[in-house]
Protein backbone atom coordinates (compact mmCIF):
# COMPACT_ATOMS: atom_id res chain seq x y z
CA UNK A 1 0.00 0.00 0.00
CA UNK A 2 1.14 3.54 -0.69
CA UNK A 3 1.78 5.05 2.75
CA UNK A 4 2.60 8.56 1.55
CA UNK A 5 3.32 10.48 -1.62
CA UNK A 6 4.79 13.97 -2.05
CA UNK A 7 3.57 15.02 -5.49
CA UNK A 8 5.78 18.12 -5.93
CA UNK A 9 8.91 16.06 -5.22
CA UNK A 10 7.67 12.86 -6.88
CA UNK A 11 8.71 10.81 -3.86
CA UNK A 12 6.70 8.31 -1.91
CA UNK A 13 6.73 5.43 0.53
CA UNK A 14 5.10 2.02 0.13
CA UNK A 15 4.64 -0.62 2.82
CA UNK A 16 4.68 -4.36 2.34
CA UNK A 17 2.39 -6.85 4.10
CA UNK A 18 4.91 -7.16 6.95
CA UNK A 19 4.92 -3.40 7.56
CA UNK A 20 8.35 -2.69 6.10
CA UNK A 21 8.62 0.66 4.33
CA UNK A 22 10.39 1.36 1.05
CA UNK A 23 10.90 4.70 -0.67
CA UNK A 24 10.19 5.15 -4.35
CA UNK A 25 10.39 7.85 -7.01
CA UNK A 26 7.43 8.45 -9.33
CA UNK A 27 9.54 7.02 -12.17
CA UNK A 28 9.04 3.63 -10.46
CA UNK A 29 5.29 3.74 -11.18
CA UNK A 30 4.79 0.99 -13.75
CA UNK A 31 1.86 2.64 -15.54
CA UNK A 32 3.96 5.67 -16.50
CA UNK A 33 1.97 8.16 -14.44
CA UNK A 34 3.73 10.58 -12.12
CA UNK A 35 1.17 10.52 -9.30
CA UNK A 36 -0.47 8.01 -6.95
CA UNK A 37 -2.82 8.46 -4.03
CA UNK A 38 -1.85 7.40 -0.50
CA UNK A 39 -3.86 4.33 0.50
CA UNK A 40 -3.71 2.82 -2.99
CA UNK A 41 -3.02 -0.94 -2.86
CA UNK A 42 0.09 -1.84 -4.87
CA UNK A 43 2.57 -4.59 -5.57
CA UNK A 44 6.24 -3.79 -6.13
CA UNK A 45 9.74 -5.18 -6.41
CA UNK A 46 12.48 -4.35 -3.93
CA UNK A 47 15.93 -3.48 -5.26
CA UNK A 48 19.14 -2.16 -3.77
CA UNK A 49 19.02 1.61 -3.98
CA UNK A 50 21.35 4.52 -3.38
CA UNK A 51 23.39 4.44 -0.22
CA UNK A 52 22.69 0.75 0.33
CA UNK A 53 19.00 1.30 1.16
CA UNK A 54 16.41 -0.91 -0.45
CA UNK A 55 13.81 0.88 -2.56
CA UNK A 56 10.63 -0.03 -4.40
CA UNK A 57 10.54 -0.44 -8.18
CA UNK A 58 7.84 -1.49 -10.66
CA UNK A 59 5.13 -0.13 -8.37
CA UNK A 60 1.85 -1.41 -9.81
CA UNK A 61 -1.67 -0.74 -8.57
CA UNK A 62 -3.81 -3.76 -7.73
CA UNK A 63 -7.53 -3.93 -8.39
CA UNK A 64 -9.71 -4.32 -5.33
CA UNK A 65 -12.46 -6.94 -5.47
CATH number at residue 23: 2.40.50.140
Tell me, rounded to whole angstroms, the distance of Cα 33 from its chain centroid: 12
Domain that holds residue 54: 2-61
Q: CA separation (Å) from 9 to 1, 5, 18, 58?
A: 19, 9, 27, 18
Per the DSSP assignment, residues forming a β-bridge with 43 are 60
Q: CA separation (Å) from 24 to 16, 35, 64?
A: 13, 12, 22
User: Phi and psi for 14 in degrees, rounded to 5?
Assistant: -115, 155
Could you give the number of structural domains in the chain?
1
Give the model's pLDDT for residue 64: 59
Q: What are the 10-residue block averages of pLDDT along the chain, 65 residues in total? A: 97 96 97 95 94 94 76
Give the model's pLDDT for residue 13: 98
Amino acid sequence: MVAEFDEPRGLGVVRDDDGRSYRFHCAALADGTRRIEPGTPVVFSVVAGHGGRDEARAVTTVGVG
